[in-house]
Amino acid sequence: MNIRIVIADDHQIVRQGLRTLLEREADMQVVAEAEDGRRAVSLARELIPHVIVMDVEMPDLNGIEATRQILTEYPQIKIIALSMYSDRRFVTNMLKAGVSGYLLKDCAFEELVQAIRLAMSNMIYLSPGVADVVVKDYANHTPAPSQPAVLTTREREVLQLLSEGKRTSQIADLLHISIKTVETHRQQIMHKLGMRSVAELTKYAIREGLTSLES
């Protein structure tokens, strides 16, 4: 059986490189590529792949939220997080979202192949640097970073887009909702988080790993 894979990363050169390497494996087939989390969700619904290799930080819809949405609808899909960051907030949020692996982008390609094969066997793979973060977190009994769990899925989407500097009209177009609905979501987000400005929301989104300064 061929393992059908979708690659989700906002850098085309990364997607192309991963595709080339993965398709050298006799039992692996890259069926599609996604440039952001929103496209990854769409492709998951359309193709229902076995595995999605998911970048954590992407514009419009980040990998954490995309993973939540995909696994809510298709829990059988295996998602492998691939990130530059071993920061605890990203690792914890992706693991809580339900990923089957978390690898750092400086890992050897063989690690990714191993992670995919383990995921298909219902096992979890963590890069050594990531495993160290998880073990230390457990050993220290430190509480997990706060998550925007108080927010709905749509509110988290709006929050990311706001923090990336999108105008209300742009957000409405991207999410296929009215401008009034976007404004209502923004008011609800500010009320729930006890914040009064977009600047505060942006700081919150960066702290929670919903977006980054590089987005």
Query: Angle at the Cα of 68 (from 64 to 71), degrees rounded to 5?
Result: 130
Q: Count CB-CB contacts under 10 A for residue 130.
A: 25
CA-CA distance, 110 to 118, in Å (whole number)? 12
Over the stretch 174-187, which tens digit does the pLDDT of each residue have?
999 999 999 999 99
CA-CA distance, 114 to 120, in Å (whole number)? 10
Calculate what percentage of the chain has a pLDDT beyond 70. 90
Sign of the CA dihedral with 16 first, then 133, 94, and 213 last: negative
Shared domain check, 157 and 124: no
Average pLDDT score over residue span 43-60: 96
CATH code (residue 155): 1.10.10.10
In a domain, 215, yes or no: no
Question: pTM for this one?
Answer: 0.74
Shared domain check, 65 and 38: yes
In a domain, 13, yes or no: yes
In a domain, 212, yes or no: no
Shared domain check, 169 and 129: no
CA-CA distance, 54 to 81, in Å (whole number)? 5
CATH code (residue 77): 3.40.50.2300
End-to-end alpha carbon distance in the chain? 38
In a domain, 44, yes or no: yes
Whole-number pLDDT of residue 215: 44
Instruction: State the alpha helices, DSSP H only, in the chain.
Output: 12-22, 37-47, 63-73, 88-97, 109-120, 128-140, 153-163, 168-175, 179-193, 198-207
Shared domain check, 136 and 154: no
In a domain, 135, yes or no: yes
Shared domain check, 39 and 73: yes
Nearest to 198 by CA among 173, 175, 171, 165: 165
In one-letter notation, the amino acid at residue 24 is: R
Whole-number pLDDT of residue 131: 77
Shared domain check, 123 and 170: no
Q: Is the pLDDT of residue 13 over 60?
A: yes
Over the stretch 136-155, which tens digit does the pLDDT of each residue have?
665 565 555 554 458 888 99
Shared domain check, 119 and 83: yes
Domain span holding position 202: 148-207
Instruction: Tell me how far the alpha carbon of residue 87 is from its chain's centroid.
Output: 14
CA-CA distance, 18 to 27, in Å (whole number)? 15
Q: What is the count of structural domains for the chain?
A: 2
Shared domain check, 24 and 67: yes
